[in-house]
Chains A and B, each alone.
Chain A
Amino acid sequence: MTATTANAPATPKKASRLNRFDSPWLNSKFIAGLCMVGFAVLLGLIGPLFWDVTLARVASSPLNLPPIWAHPEGFPPPDPAHPLGTESSGRDMLAVLITGTPRSLMVGFIAAGIGLLVGITLGFLAGFKGGWIDAVIRTLCDAVIVIPSLLVLIVISSYVRQVDIVQMALLLALFAWAFPTRVIRAQALSMRERGYVRMARLSGASTFTIMYREMMPNMLPYLAASFSGAVSGAILAATSLEALGLGPTRIPTLGMTIFYSIRAAAILRGMWWWWGFPILMLMLIFTGFFMIATGLDEIANPRLRGLKAG
């Protein structure tokens, strides 16, 4: 995002720095969200340097250890070697988090990346060209949005069963394009008749140049917001599939860990650390992306900004 800060709508530099909204990109929600997602990314990147990731394998650690600060009845005493505890097949929870988090994020980023690319192409095409192209794309988009995509994905992955992360991401991308397309189309439609677009058209710029040079930079907050929405949507779908036991089975992803814990009745056995940590991690990721999207909304739409005070 550093690159975009430079070409953000040029607010005149005021003498005092008292005004927090000097640059709209310094939005507190946006930054808090970035920090949350950044933490999850860093955990996956730096975690393996500090923690033995092979402990995420089955039977690599003692069973059913609680986290070090907890002393629940009926469980062995906690072991400092496994700070977040272990589960019933001998996986260390910290190692599971370190290996599982980046995989969930990766699925989300790949699927959302494809979705956004398709969305930009189709959305601009529909909004800018109009006519029958617009009608076809809009109709298709609306139909795809209504279909409960998770269910279709359940059917597909229950047939396929063995999927790896990239295949999973490709499957998710099948539905990840519809919402971005809708948003981008609406924006393109409203921008089409603005002064600078007309100006560019009058000066003989090609459609391509107008779309990508003139309109796209102005849509940046919307694009980023739909990207972060698409990432969390894809992670949600992936986690849901995994929680039903339909994910990549060999790798302990966060959703898969939740599935194992449900299957082993961990909730009713009081082993909250088994499902609690993966859920906490995912909540952090979802809340992070959500705050990024909300923050970007406020950046793009000044009317929403700073109303809380009023």
Chain B
Amino acid sequence: MRGLTKEYVIRRLFMYVLTIWLGSTLIFLIPRLVPGDPIAAMVTRMQQQAGYVENSAEIIAAWRARFGLDAPLSIQYLRFLRNSVTLDLGYSLTQFPTKVTEQISKSLPWTIGLLALATVISFILGNTIGALMAWRRTPRAVKSLLPLSLTFTSVPFFMLGILLLYVFAFGLKWFPVGGGYGRGVTMGLNLEFIGSALYHAVLPALAIIISSMGFWALGMRGMMITTAGEDYMVLADAKALTPARIFWGYGVRNSILPQVTALALALGGIVGGAVLVEYIFSYPGMGYLLYQGIVNNDYTIIQGVVFILILTTATAVLILDLLYPFVDPRISYQRR
């Protein structure tokens, strides 16, 4: 394990646990600190809709027991922590016998697939554009076109999603208006399903890619400008290395490091934005599940989805952090 010192790993693991603890404590504590008893209100709301829920009394009883309404806050909190650690997220309120974890395990792969695809493409594309923008040898024509790709940089994912939906699904009818895969396609590892899933993922992924790649491009441009002034770039030139080698091996290789850190920092925002994109496109991922939870006042679903997404984000950041010393060997020597 070259590059990974014990101290570094321990520090990162500590951050991982701290992040998850802080996030879950916030979603536990704040709803209980605001004026009004959210759980009482929730039970009333449930009773109002209980007309069509067959065993509503049972659910309410189960819910009360689940949250231990009579127990003091500290006991409730400890229980909450225990349940979080064991991933026991309880039952869905609106679809009673289904467990929250069951619903989430159906949705999570969609979200992770969409996010991984979109983020990787946007990261690669954005960084390449940014590097080219700052590169001396980029052809003039290309250089004047590149800033166009930044047009939508500051537009939120979901607003771009609405625009794309209107133009490409409603207007031109090139892409489906929503969903994760076509009707009549059976889920499974066959070409038809994968093709259909990718086809449905194009617009949501584009919404994320187009609006986030400018962020990478701008960061990369700044870094490349700094790198271009370094002595080793002059030396590489003097050694008559091919421009491609200088660009990728010297310029991009050295400029990409802060971008990896930036990716770790931006991930939380990207996940939040993706949730709304899924809602716009009725994409069957966590965002859509969350929206249904909001509409149905299904608090266990809302809390469960958010907890799992915090967990997923923190895990992704941990993985990035643990990979970082391999990308940047200096980090293992340096005590921060």
Residues of A within 8 A of B (CB): 139-140, 142-152, 154-156, 158-160, 174, 232, 236-237, 239-240, 243-246, 258, 262, 267-268, 270, 272, 275, 279, 282-283, 286-287, 289-290, 294, 297, 301, 303-304, 307-308, 310
Give Cα distance in the complex from A97 to B19, angstroms. 39
Give Cα distance in the complex from A303 to B38, angstroms. 53
Can you list 14 A-B pairs with a CB-CB distance of less than 8 A?
A: A146-B264, A146-B317, A147-B314, A151-B271, A151-B310, A152-B310, A158-B299, A159-B42, A160-B34, A243-B276, A289-B154, A303-B226, A307-B134, A308-B147
Closest residue of chain A to B286 (Cβ to Cβ) is A151
> Hey, which chain B residues are within 8 Å of A156, CB to CB?
27, 30-31, 34
Q: Given A155-B31, A304-B222, A307-B225, A142–B15 Cβ distance below 8 Å?
A: yes
Contact check, B156 vs A148: say whether CB atoms are below 8 A apart.
Answer: no
Give Cα distance in the complex from A179 to B269, angstroms. 12
Q: Count of chain B residues with Cβ under 8 Å from any Cβ of A? A: 61
Q: Give B40 Cβ to nearest chain A Cβ, in Å.
A: 11
Contact check, A155 vs B19: say whether CB atoms are below 8 A apart.
Answer: no
> Hey, which chain A residues are within 8 Å of B19, CB to CB?
142-143, 146-147
> Hey, which chain B residues are within 8 Å of A145, CB to CB?
265, 268
Chain A to chain B: the 7 pairs with minimum beta-carbon distance, closest first = A150-B272, A290-B154, A159-B31, A159-B38, A148-B268, A147-B23, A286-B154
Give Cα distance in the complex from A297 to B223, angstroms. 13
Contact check, A158 vs B294: say whether CB atoms are below 8 A apart.
Answer: yes
Q: Is B303 part of the contact surface with A, judged by Cβ < 8 Å?
A: yes
Q: Give B215 Cβ to nearest chain A Cβ, in Å.
A: 10
> Hey, which chain A residues are within 8 Å of B313, CB to CB?
146-148
Contact check, B294 vs A154: say whether CB atoms are below 8 A apart.
Answer: yes
Q: Interface of chain B, helix or strand or loop or mixed?
A: helix
Q: Given A146-B267, A160-B34, A267-B166, A152–B294 Cβ distance below 8 Å?
A: no
Q: A143-B22, A155-B30, A279-B159 are in contact. List 15 more A-B contacts (CB 8 A).
A: A143-B19, A148-B268, A148-B271, A150-B273, A151-B290, A154-B294, A155-B303, A159-B38, A160-B31, A245-B295, A246-B294, A267-B162, A267-B165, A283-B155, A307-B225
Instruction: Report which of B136, B156, B225, B290 forms a contact with A286, defined as CB distance below 8 A.
Output: B156
Closest residue of chain B to A278 (Cβ to Cβ) is B159
Q: Is B275 part of the contact surface with A, judged by Cβ < 8 Å?
A: yes
Q: Is B163 part of the contact surface with A, judged by Cβ < 8 Å?
A: yes
> Hey, which chain A residues are within 8 Å of B156, CB to CB?
236, 239-240, 282, 286
The proximity string for B residues 302-335 relative to A, scoring 1 for CB distances below 8 Å and 0 otherwise, is 1101100110011001000000000000000000
Q: Is B232 part of the contact surface with A, judged by Cβ < 8 Å?
A: no
Q: Is B218 part of the contact surface with A, judged by Cβ < 8 Å?
A: yes
Give Cα distance in the complex from A232 to B177, angstroms. 29
Q: Is B280 part of the contact surface with A, judged by Cβ < 8 Å?
A: yes
Contact check, B22 vs A244: say whether CB atoms are below 8 A apart.
Answer: no
Q: Is B26 part of the contact surface with A, judged by Cβ < 8 Å?
A: yes
The proximity string for B residues 15-48 relative to A, scoring 1 for CB distances below 8 Å and 0 otherwise, is 1001100110011001100101010001000000
Most-contacted residue by chain A among B18, B36, B147, B276 (CB, 10 A): B276
Give Cα distance in the complex from A236 to B275, angstroms. 13
> Hey, which chain A residues are within 8 Å of B193, CB to CB?
none
> Hey, which chain A residues are within 8 Å of B134, CB to CB?
307
B151-188: which residues lie under 8 A (CB-CB) from chain A?
Answer: 153-156, 158-159, 162-163, 165-166, 170, 177
Give Cα distance in the complex from A149 to B23, angstroms. 9
> Hey, which chain B residues are within 8 Å of A150, CB to CB?
269, 272-273, 275
Closest residue of chain B to A167 (Cβ to Cβ) is B34
Closest residue of chain A to B226 (Cβ to Cβ) is A303
Q: Is B63 part of the contact surface with A, judged by Cβ < 8 Å?
A: no
Give Cα distance in the complex from A149 to B38, angstroms. 21
Give Cα distance in the complex from A199 to B147, angstroms. 44
Instruction: Report which of B22, B273, B294, B305 forms a contact with A147, defined as CB distance below 8 A.
Output: B22
Contact check, B15 vs A143: say whether CB atoms are below 8 A apart.
Answer: yes
Q: Given A139-B18, A268-B177, A286-B156, A159–B310 Cβ distance below 8 Å?
A: no
Instruction: Report which of A152, A232, A262 forms a contact with B26, defined as CB distance below 8 A.
Output: A152
Q: Give B150 Cβ to nearest chain A Cβ, in Å.
A: 10
Contact check, A275 vs B31: say whether CB atoms are below 8 A apart.
Answer: no
Q: Given A156-B30, A244-B291, A289-B154, A275–B225 Cβ distance below 8 Å?
A: no
Instruction: Report which of B18, B154, B163, B317 forms a contact with A279, defined as CB distance below 8 A.
Output: B163
Give Cα distance in the complex from A148 to B27, angstroms. 12
> Hey, which chain A residues are within 8 Å of B267, CB to CB?
146
Q: Is B91 part of the contact surface with A, judged by Cβ < 8 Å?
A: no
Q: Give A180 Cβ to nearest chain B Cβ, in Å.
A: 13
Closest residue of chain B to A298 (Cβ to Cβ) is B222
Contact check, B272 vs A151: say whether CB atoms are below 8 A apart.
Answer: yes
Q: Is B279 part of the contact surface with A, judged by Cβ < 8 Å?
A: yes
Instruction: Report which of B23, B273, B280, B302 forms a contact with A158, defined as CB distance below 8 A.
Output: B302
